[in-house]
Structures are given as C-alpha cells and as structure tokens.
C-alpha cells in the first residue's frame, strides 16, 4: 500500500514538472531570438504601418525618379520677345530651349540677374507672381518653355533721380529651375526701374502670347 502511494506521488511530481516546462516553452522568444518583436520591412515600416493609409508627402517629381535630369545651363539657350508696353511697364516673354540630346525637367521658376555691357552685375530683384504651379515641364531636345516677365520703366524709390533710372542692361543671366549655373540671354539694352525689379511666372509649355499690355 505504501509502495503504491509512493508511485502515485512520484507520478504527480513528474506530471507537474512536465506541465511547468511546457508553459515556459510557449512564452515569448528569448532576447537572442531574431524572431522576437515586431517585424520591420526594408523600408523601416511595421505590419501595422503597411495596413493603414498614410499620407503621401507632396513632392515635385524629381529628376532621378523620372530618369531625367534637370535642365542645365550647358544645354540651354534663351531669347526675349517684347510683347508690348503700358501703364509704365514693359511686357515680354523669356523663351528657353533645351539644346541637349536628352529630355530635361524645367518645372518651376527661373532665376535672373542683369549685367551691364562689361558683364558687371546690376541691381536685380526677381518677384514670383502667383503660386508655384505643379505642372510638370519636361523639355524634349529642341523643345521650349516660356515665362512671362514684366518690368517698370518709371523711376521709383531707390532709382537715380536724373538720367536713366538704372544703368542699362545688356545681358540677362538665367538660371533654370533647380540648376545652379547661369546661361546668358541678350537683353534689349533698356534700364529696369524699381531697382531692377522683374516680375516672372513659372515656366510653361505651349505658344507664348503675341501681345500684352497694361
């Protein structure tokens, strides 16, 4: 009888030990187990991130993503076409052309700087009209885009009190959107009043308007 009780007690102890071992095995992975914790994909997100809808940041289509570089000074040329005058202002279009062998991205505003006959910088203040358009401007080889520009011919504060309001400009240095170098464009030899203020619009494709006046 005593022997039977001993065997029963031993069996209970063995069963309890097995049960405890089983509970320990079903817990979380150990600190050294790479399967422990949330899974992170190559982009750094978790499954929870992938399941929901996250806002997409507003980004202008960049050149590398499209396989196109930005238009660069070395492969650009430009010209100015006067549209008209009125209300003390001159209206014109600046037309830029891709002379390279590959398409390039010209989305946005150009930069500008006036130079005199000796290529010395003159006062220049470029003012961007309206909001930045999100229209993508891609110039194939030989294609052009234009921006409408306007400048004052009436002396204002900060201009010369006698003679021309500002020194006459002979060249306009133009910087394509997102480029850092300039290419020269012939100016018409006129002075730009209001200390060289030029209003400009974003580049766009299509046919420039023939005439414009105040």
Contact between 62 and 107 (Cβ < 8 Å): no
Report pLDDT digits (tens) over 5-63. Answer: 444 444 444 444 444 444 444 444 333 333 333 322 233 333 333 333 333 333 344 44
Distances (CA, A) of 185 to 123, 174, 207, 210: 17, 7, 20, 20
Per the domain annotation, does 118 fall within a domain? yes
Task: Report residue 17 as tokens.
Answer: 């030990």
Per the domain annotation, does 15 fall within a domain? no
User: Mean pLDDT throughout 192-203?
Assistant: 97
Backbone phi, psi, residue 137, to 5°:
-115, 105
State residue 212's pLDDT score: 75
Report the relative pairing of strands 89-98 and 125-128 from DSSP bridges.
Answer: unpaired
Residue 95 has pLDDT above 90, yes or no: yes
Report pLDDT digits (tens) over 163-192. Answer: 999 999 999 999 999 999 999 999 988 999
Domain count, the chain: 1
CATH number at residue 79: 2.60.40
What range does the domain containing 133 cover? 67-200
Per the domain annotation, does 52 fall within a domain? no
Report the relative pairing of strands 125-128 and 197-200 from DSSP bridges.
Answer: parallel
Per the domain annotation, does 182 fall within a domain? yes
Per the domain annotation, does 137 fall within a domain? yes
Per the domain annotation, does 1 fall within a domain? no
User: Mean pLDDT throughout 65-70?
Assistant: 70
Residue 211: count other Cβ atoms within 10 Å of its Cβ.
8
Residue 197 has pLDDT above 70, yes or no: yes
How many percent of the chain have pLDDT more than 70? Answer: 66
Question: Interior CA angle at 163 toward 159 and 164, to 5°?
Answer: 60
């Amino acid at each position: 009888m005593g022997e039977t009780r001993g065997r029963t007690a031993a069996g209970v102890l063995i069963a309890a030990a097995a049960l405890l071992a089983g509970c320990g095995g079903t817990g979380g992975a150990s600190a050294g187990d790479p399967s422990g914790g949330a899974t992170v994909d190559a982009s750094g997100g978790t499954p929870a991130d992938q399941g929901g809808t996250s806002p997409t940041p507003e980004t202008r289509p960049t050149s590398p993503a499209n396989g196109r570089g930005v238009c660069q000074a070395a492969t650009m040329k430009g010209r100015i076409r006067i549209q008209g005058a009125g209300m003390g202002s001159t209206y014109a279009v600046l037309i830029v052309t891709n002379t390279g062998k590959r398409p390039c991205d010209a989305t946005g505003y150009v930069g500008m700087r006036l130079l005199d006959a000796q290529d010395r910088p003159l006062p220049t203040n470029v003012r961007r009209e309206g909001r930045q358009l999100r229209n993508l401007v891609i110039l194939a080889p030989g294609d052009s885009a234009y921006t409408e520009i306007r400048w004052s011919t009436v002396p204002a504060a900060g201009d010369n009190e006698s003679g021309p309001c500002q020194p006459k400009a002979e060249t306009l240095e133009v910087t394509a959107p997102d480029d850092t170098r300039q290419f020269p464009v012939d100016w018409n030899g006129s002075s730009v009043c209001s200390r060289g203020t030029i209003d400009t619009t974003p580049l766009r494709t299509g046919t420039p308007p023939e005439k414009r006046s105040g």
